[in-house]
Amino acid sequence: MHYGWIVAAVTFLTMLVTAGAVGAPGVLIAPLEREFGWANADISSALALRLVLFGLMGPFAAAFMNRFGVRRVAGVALVLIACGVAGSFAMTQIWHLMLFWGLVVGLGTGLTAMVLGATVATRWFVARRGLVLGLLTASTATGQLVFLPLLAWLTDHYGWRTALAFVLVMLTTATVAVLALMRDRPSDLGLRPYGATADVPPPQAPAGFTAMLMSPLLALRAAATSLTFWVLFGTFFVCGASTNGLVQTHFVSLCGDYGIAAVTAAGMLAVIGVFDFAGTVGSGWLSDRYDCRVLLFWYYGLRGLSLLYLPFSEFTFYGLSLFAVFYGLDWVATVPPTVKLVADRFGENANLVFGWVFAGHQLGAASAAYGAGFSRTVYASYLPAFFVAGALCLFAAAALLLIRERPLLAEIARKRYPGL
């Protein structure tokens, strides 16, 4: 078996566990409100900071991986997340939540995020790259959702601190796997990427630390000349606003407003996670075979319709089940075709450019996380946020029609910006 599959498996575990840590606050909002008397909008502000850092670290995480290696960066990220989770056991003030879950966990998760999966897939695989991207992307969304029922059950029966202790155990397991099995590049083992017919020399790392920090900014400057970049950035902003910023963060609390227990609501999120796994892996398979622009048009359009349907589901078991199936199939199915479009158009700088596209995703997530909390505090309802998210998805679907077939932009960028 090619060692790339072992690296992919370790990456899958890492992204699964870190995503579970990212999703944990979804079941903590109500307990924190009860224990500390914090307002929903204040808690949502801390969680929004986490999502902003989660995204803005993406381009620099790619630069760190290019410079220091995937293994080191992933190991540091897992330790940093564990420190933030452990520190939250002692929090008593809202600024403690901002520090541990907003700043520390935000920085740690930002060092991995989807950039880790994109980097591993592009370095280790030529054949089956879309499928691997689908699997790794599915691990992120599935980890955010499948862990929630267990965390909700632990919170209800033993308290939120016990639920976070379980997260710490999972983070420790992933750290051991990364240190033992992760490798940076196929060339480290004298291998070619899976499916490659010729040796692939590793790109030369920036000469110094300053050059390394500048490489994401140079990549952004080059990519900013492309309409494709801005369309993908904007649509991924909508993707974040309509998934982990809104549904992952506030769905349990939304269901609580309609008398649905937290464990039951988290179970619905787990159903979304199960169907997401199938949908995202299938999306990766489709992105190897069909026009990614067409796939994204349908993904965003169908997601928008499912979000607009949710307020009319009457929050019955059957209504929520129907939403969970259709919305789950589309949860992050947008990621494999988006990564593939970036890779096709920006070449060897794809992980840096995708880092900026992913930053747009998390800015959208942060906006929705805060906006939904604001809506709940001011208007006593989450529903306006869901209507807005559904409408944005329909606009994103229309915006994808602006992308046209164009030659690879990497050559143009290198000629225009030789330092890139």
110-127 pLDDT, tens digit per residue, is: 887 677 887 888 888 877
- What CATH number has the domain bearing residue 222? 1.20.1250.20
pLDDT band at 420 (very low <50, low <70, confident <90, very high): very low
> Roughly how many angstroms between the first and final C-alpha of the chain, as a whole number?
36
In a domain, 320, yes or no: yes
In a domain, 193, yes or no: no
The Cα 273–Cα 21 span in angstroms is 15
pLDDT > 90? residue 176: yes
Provide CB contacts within 8 A for 62, sequence distance 6+: 115, 119, 216, 351, 352, 354, 355
263-295 pLDDT, tens digit per residue, is: 788 788 778 877 887 888 888 788 878 888 899
User: What's the domain count of the chain?
Assistant: 1
In a domain, 348, yes or no: yes
pLDDT band at 299 (very low <50, low <70, confident <90, very high): very high
pLDDT > 80? residue 104: yes
How high is the mean pLDDT of the chain? 82
Whether the pTM exceeds 0.85: the reply is no
In contact, 175 and 81? CB cutoff 8 Å = no
What pLDDT was estimated at residue 326? 86
Query: DSSP code of 198?
Result: S
Provide CB contacts within 8 A for 58, sequence distance 6+: 110, 113, 114, 115, 354, 355, 356, 358, 359, 362
In a domain, 82, yes or no: yes
Domain limits at 380?
A: 3-186+208-416
What pLDDT was estimated at residue 245? 80
In a domain, 201, yes or no: no
What are the structure tokens assigned to 81, written together? Answer: 């997340």
From 26-35, 141-150, 216-225, 246-255, the region with the lowest mean pLDDT? 141-150
Rounded percentage of the chain residues whose pLDDT exceeds 90: 15
Across 322-341, average pLDDT: 85
Angle (CA) 218-219-222 rounded to 5° is 85
**Helices and strands of the chain, counted as H and E runs:** 19, 0
What is the H or E stretch that residue 11 is in? helix 3-23
In a domain, 342, yes or no: yes
Across 323-343, average pLDDT: 84
